[in-house]
Homo-oligomer: A and B are copies of this chain.
Amino acid sequence: MKYLLVLLLAGITSSAQIQKEQLNLMPWPQSVVVNDGNFALNKNFKVNITGNPNSRIFGGVTRFLRRLDGRTGIFFEQGFITKLNEVPTAELQINCTKSGKIGLYEDESYHLDIKQNQITINATSDLGALHGLETLLQMLQNNSNSFYFPISQISDFPRFTWRGLMIDVARHFQPIDVIKRNIDGLAAMKMNVFHWHLVDDQGWRIEMKKHAKLIEVASDGMYYTQEEIKNIVKYADERGILVVPEIDVPGHGSAILTAYPEIGSKVITLTGGTSEKNIQGTAIATYGIERNAGIFSPTLDPSNPKTYQLLSEIFDEVCPLFPGAYFHIGGDENEGKDWDANPKIQEFMKKNKLANNHELQTYFTMQLVPMLKKHGKQLMGWEEILTKNMSKDAIIHSWRGPNEGMAAGQSLVDAVKKGYKTVLSNGYYIDLMYPVASHYLNDPMPKGVDLTAEEKARILGGEATMWTELATPTTIDSRLWPRTAAIAERLWSAQDITDVASMRKRLDVVSYRLEELGLTHIRNKAVILRNISNNQNIKSLNEFANVCEPLKGYTRNKGGTEYQMYSPFTLFADACGPDAKESLAFDDAVSQYLASKTPENKEKVTAFFNKWIAVNKGLIELSANAPLVQPILPLSKKLNDASQELLLVLDNKSTLKADDLKNLIEQCNTKDHADVELSVYASLKKLI
């Protein structure tokens, strides 16, 4: 501890020169130069704005001041900034040439210059200036009793113009405050697109005045009012973020068809002579809001003129809520089963010379293009919309990969080669609980593929996707953050910024700072653990959670039926996250020990084993009064047993046969308990 303290002191003394490597900037700027000396922060610190920015900069600066005083406890004299050139002598001068326009291709660059007595942010637009303020907040340093900014010059601009996050609010509805705090998180990470997945099998989430049935019967009462949507769009605009709405059609149609079954594709053939419903012997199928996860057959009928009439009216009502230039129409995972089985649809295809369901879906999608164009919107869709007759205006959202039997990001290459603009989401599925490094190293620019400059330019960027089959308002932030920050860096920073160790170090600080925006990714873990513990001490649970990760991919919810949308998500797996906190530290200890079997190195490894043995004991004690601890015990016992034996192994006292020892460790490679897996299994294995 003393050693650590000395190190810390060495690193933070104000007179010490801050090294570039010590800065916890994320996304890492294009150019950073650090010099000797500091700008000292005190309560007289003020901000002044000049030029021709959009008025969003005033709110941005006011929020900047609140965050800075929250971190430092300094009682700044300046409360609100409401107009240009308010304090000409202010220490922080912000100049913007023009009003930033929310959307793609806007100039988001900025120059941040920190001198001993003056800080300036120069940006073409206020959007760049907002980014500059985020960087300045990240530049904040401290010694033992004061805060300062190191003298430095930063020039910065994004690598990609589309740096997005999608949140699915259909599977689990996410209230306004969840959306708002995550928009703040996006802005802090210099992201600029919020893709709002508003409709899916599990619910319709947009208030409709004309087609009120959609919310009356297909939302469970959980939807955004049009005013709320407008407020979110405004909130995002004030933070430099474009909102792209999605209404997923023609598949994922259960909610829409619950309200309007008459435009569904399913045909029901009536057997026998009941005259009740339809004398022709067919009837309209009924649909219900879907409660499970998965891919379902309810699909809109592309041969029915009523389908287009309804969609056109829906777009007429929804499009004006979103001033942005893009509208996502989904288009994914349409199985076409109901199309195949519907004679009317088959006849329609024949008549219109549509050779297969892909062509039928293209026919359908093409009908939407003018409906959106009417409102000044360009159509965007998941990669399945990419078929031969698709409009070149459409933006292709690349998402499939090996899990769907495709080469990762293949559709992205196909799209740009065929002349489409595209956004990458394959590799950014943060709901699947993969480690941050996997997302971080996933570049939108494909490797080993020859693309022309023109083709490359069609790769707009990328988008993290937060599907919410398993995420509630309580847990969603911990699924989003901090990994989305690493994706933000991938999309903003230079292509060669790929040092995972550096990213991890910076991410730890960035994650902590995101708390000030109200994000709950850290704090809610204790809430869930307290519930599991039945209000007992959560220490053991917390320590066990540091070596457990939720099952990855789609394995936690096999077949989509283990968890319904109304199942409890207050379980141990919900408190755990990817990148379990102690895995790397343990792996380092093991590697060091294997490289050099000194007593010190051995002690580092055995400390972990002793901790896990104590954790198991602690969990058993807890479980006497906490039923929710029971499902965790078999797993903790396995780690306990392996730990106990490995302690003997390290002392050369183990009497187990090699195979039995191997089996014992192999027990830790299980996915059978509490929907989590032990993150230290691979490191344990190295010891035998």
Beta-carbon contact of B523 and A73 below 8 Å: no
In-complex Cβ contact of A570 among B12, B71, B530 (8 A): B71
Beta-carbon contact of B73 and A291 below 8 Å: no
Does residue A147 face the partner (Cβ distance < 8 Å to B)? yes
In-complex Cβ contact of A146 among B73, B80, B627 (8 A): B627
In the complex, per-residue mask of A118-160: 1 if CB is within 8 Å of any chain B CB, else 0 = 0000000000000000000000001111110000000000000
Q: A175-B177, A515-B530, A531-B516 are in contact. Are A220 and B70 (CB under 8 A)?
A: no
In the complex, per-residue mask of A562-591: 1 if CB is within 8 Å of any chain B CB, else 0 = 011111101100000000000000000000
Of the 9-residue stretches A267-275, A435-443, A489-497, A617-625, which lies at the interface with chain B?
A617-625
In the complex, per-residue mask of A487-529: 1 if CB is within 8 Å of any chain B CB, else 0 = 0000000000000000000001100100110101011101100
For the complex formed by this chain, how many copies does it contain in all? 2
Beta-carbon contact of A69 and B568 below 8 Å: yes
In-complex Cβ contact of A531 among B71, B509, B518, B531 (8 A): B71
Cα–Cα distance between A520 and B71 once the two chains are bound (Å): 20
Beta-carbon contact of B566 and A80 below 8 Å: yes
Cα–Cα distance between A66 and B524 once the two chains are bound (Å): 18
Q: How far is the CB of A470 from chain B (nearest CB, A)?
A: 14
Does residue A79 face the partner (Cβ distance < 8 Å to B)? yes
Beta-carbon contact of A535 and B509 below 8 Å: yes
Q: How far is the CB of A69 from chain B (nearest CB, A)?
A: 4
Q: How far is the CB of A507 from chain B (nearest CB, A)?
A: 12
Which chain B residues border A59 with CB–CB below 8 Å? Answer: 221
Does residue A72 face the partner (Cβ distance < 8 Å to B)? yes
Cα–Cα distance between A598 and B228 once the two chains are bound (Å): 65
Beta-carbon contact of B568 and A73 below 8 Å: yes
Cα–Cα distance between A568 and B568 once the two chains are bound (Å): 37
Does residue A9 face the partner (Cβ distance < 8 Å to B)? yes
Cα–Cα distance between A659 and B543 once the two chains are bound (Å): 48
In the complex, per-residue mask of A636-660: 1 if CB is within 8 Å of any chain B CB, else 0 = 0000000000000000000000000
Please report which residues of chain A, range 523-560, place their CB below 8 angstroms from some CB of chain B when the two chains form the complex. Answer: 523-524, 526-527, 530-531, 534-535
Q: A69-B568, A71-B570 are in contact. Are A142 and B534 (CB under 8 A)?
A: yes
Beta-carbon contact of B74 and A568 below 8 Å: yes
Beta-carbon contact of A535 and B512 below 8 Å: yes
Cα–Cα distance between A66 and B509 once the two chains are bound (Å): 35
Which chain B residues border A527 with CB–CB below 8 Å? Answer: 515, 522-523
Does residue A52 face the partner (Cβ distance < 8 Å to B)? no
Complex: chain B residue closest to A181, CB-CB = B177
Which chain B residues border A626 with CB–CB below 8 Å? Answer: 142, 144
Which chain B residues border A65 with CB–CB below 8 Å? Answer: 566
Complex: chain B residue closest to A78, CB-CB = B566
Does residue A75 face the partner (Cβ distance < 8 Å to B)? yes
Which chain B residues border A76 with CB–CB below 8 Å? Answer: 566
Q: How far is the CB of A143 from chain B (nearest CB, A)?
A: 8
Cα–Cα distance between A530 and B566 once the two chains are bound (Å): 33
Does residue A279 face the partner (Cβ distance < 8 Å to B)? no
Does residue A595 face the partner (Cβ distance < 8 Å to B)? no
Which chain B residues border A530 with CB–CB below 8 Å? Answer: 512, 515, 522
Beta-carbon contact of A570 and B73 below 8 Å: yes
Q: How far is the CB of A521 from chain B (nearest CB, A)?
A: 11
On chain A, the number of residues with a Cβ less than 8 Å from chain B's Cβ atoms is 68
Which chain B residues border A523 with CB–CB below 8 Å? Answer: 520, 523-524, 526-527
Please report which residues of chain A, range 196-253, place their CB below 8 angstroms from some CB of chain B when the two chains form the complex. Answer: 220-221, 225, 227-228, 231
Does residue A5 face the partner (Cβ distance < 8 Å to B)? yes
Does residue A628 face the partner (Cβ distance < 8 Å to B)? yes
Complex: chain B residue closest to A533, CB-CB = B512
Q: A227-B225, A564-B75, A630-B145 are in contact. Are A70 and B515 (CB under 8 A)?
A: no
Which chain B residues border A66 with CB–CB below 8 Å? Answer: 566
Does residue A176 face the partner (Cβ distance < 8 Å to B)? yes
Which chain B residues border A623 with CB–CB below 8 Å? Answer: 144-145
Which chain B residues border A80 with CB–CB below 8 Å? Answer: 220, 566
Beta-carbon contact of A624 and B144 below 8 Å: yes
Beta-carbon contact of B73 and A627 below 8 Å: yes
Does residue A8 face the partner (Cβ distance < 8 Å to B)? yes
Beta-carbon contact of A79 and B564 below 8 Å: yes
Does residue A1 face the partner (Cβ distance < 8 Å to B)? yes
Q: How far is the CB of A566 from chain B (nearest CB, A)?
A: 4
In-complex Cβ contact of A144 among B9, B143, B220, B630 (8 A): B630
Please report which residues of chain A, range 73-91, place their CB below 8 angstroms from some CB of chain B when the two chains form the complex. Answer: 73-76, 79-80
Q: How far is the CB of A305 from chain B (nearest CB, A)?
A: 33
Beta-carbon contact of A5 and B568 below 8 Å: no
Which chain B residues border A524 with CB–CB below 8 Å? Answer: 523
Complex: chain B residue closest to A71, CB-CB = B531
Q: A523-B526, A526-B526 are in contact. Are A12 and B79 (CB under 8 A)?
A: no
Cα–Cα distance between A25 and B143 once the two chains are bound (Å): 49
Q: How far is the CB of A64 from chain B (nearest CB, A)?
A: 13
Q: A527-B515, A627-B145 are in contact. Are A1 and B71 (CB under 8 A)?
A: no
Q: How far is the CB of A4 from chain B (nearest CB, A)?
A: 9
Complex: chain B residue closest to A565, CB-CB = B79
Complex: chain B residue closest to A520, CB-CB = B523
Beta-carbon contact of B291 and A79 below 8 Å: yes
Q: How far is the CB of A16 from chain B (nearest CB, A)?
A: 13
Cα–Cα distance between A624 and B10 once the two chains are bound (Å): 10
Which chain B residues border A621 with CB–CB below 8 Å? Answer: 1, 5
Q: How far is the CB of A57 from chain B (nearest CB, A)?
A: 14
Which chain B residues border A627 with CB–CB below 8 Å? Answer: 72-73, 142-147
In-complex Cβ contact of A625 among B12, B71, B512, B535 (8 A): B12
Cα–Cα distance between A508 and B535 once the two chains are bound (Å): 9
Knowing that A8-B624, A79-B291, A512-B535 are A-B contacts, what are 10 other residue pairs whose CB atoms are under 8 Å apart, sorted by A's residue number? A66-B566, A73-B568, A79-B564, A79-B566, A142-B534, A142-B627, A225-B231, A227-B227, A515-B531, A523-B527
Q: Report 11 cross-chain contacts, Cβ distance below 8 Å, ordered by A residue.
A: A1-B621, A5-B624, A59-B221, A69-B567, A72-B568, A73-B570, A75-B568, A142-B534, A144-B626, A520-B523, A522-B527
